Every structure is written in structure tokens, then in C-alpha cells.
Amino acid sequence: MASDSRAALLKASTPPSDELFSSLITANHILHHQKVLDAYGHISVRNPQNPATFFISRSLAPALVSCREDIAEYYVDDANPVNKDAPQGYAERFIHSELYKRYSDVNSVIHSHSEAVIPFSISSVPVRHPPMPVLGAQLTCITSFARSIT
């Protein structure tokens, strides 16, 4: 029991890897290039060291995300920034936090306004995506979220 607590504390106190942020930056660029994300879409990733937080770029078009400083950390519980001095974030971060809250096994969320993606919200055709191993082996399009919480 004590070793479990110690392991949990060690994990929580270890900062996320540079690879996580590099992959999130790359995912922004790939999804923009593939026209999954337009200038107003975003991808986030749950913090693997602390599942009560997630990372998403600050209010910046996906194609312009270029470094760790372009990414902010938010609490899953209420979508407030972990760093009170963080730059203004997307209002849609609340969508991300609600999905992380509702689905504990979801490790990455994409929110898109792209016309190329909208048809997937009303069809049974699965979303196909480029491999992004750090962000998770499987991408699931959760389209009935609004209906499932009402």
C-alpha cells in the first residue's frame, strides 16, 4: 500500500516528457495540414502524469503552435488554467474538460469546425487518422456527447 502511494506521488511529481509536447505540436500541424482542424479547431491531451489536468494550445491557430510556451495546462474538473497567469485560452476548452471528465479512458480530444469533419458527426463511418502514438493508439469520434448528457 505504501509503495503504491509512493509510486503515485513520484508519477504526479514527474513533469510530462518533452516528447509529449513535441507530439502535441506535431498533431496540431498534421491535423491542420490534413484539414481536420481549421484555424479554430484544437487538439488536447490528458496529462499522463496527472489525469486531473490536460494540455491544449493557448488561443492560437493549430498551424502556428510551435513551442512548449504555446501550450497551457488546464484542470479537467473546471477547465481553469493550472497557471493563473496563463494566456487567454480557448472558450472550447470546456468541451475538452467535460469529455475528459465523462470519459476517464479518453486521453486526447479534438474539437473541430472543419466542414470536412462535420459529416462524421451524423454518420456511422469511423474517423480515420494518421498515427500519433504518444497521443493514443485509437482515436474515437464522440459525436453523441451532447445527446448523452441531456
| HSE of 77, CA atoms in CB hemisphere, 13 A | 3
Cβ-Cβ contacts under 8 Å for 146 (sequence gap 6 or more): none
| Nearest residue to 54 (alpha-carbon basis) of 103, 121, 126 | 103
Q: H helices of 34-74, where?
A: none
Distance CA 49, CA 12 (A): 5
Distance CA 16, CA 13 (A): 9
Catalytic residues: 92
Distances (CA, A) of 90 to 41, 42, 73, 145, 150: 10, 9, 12, 19, 23
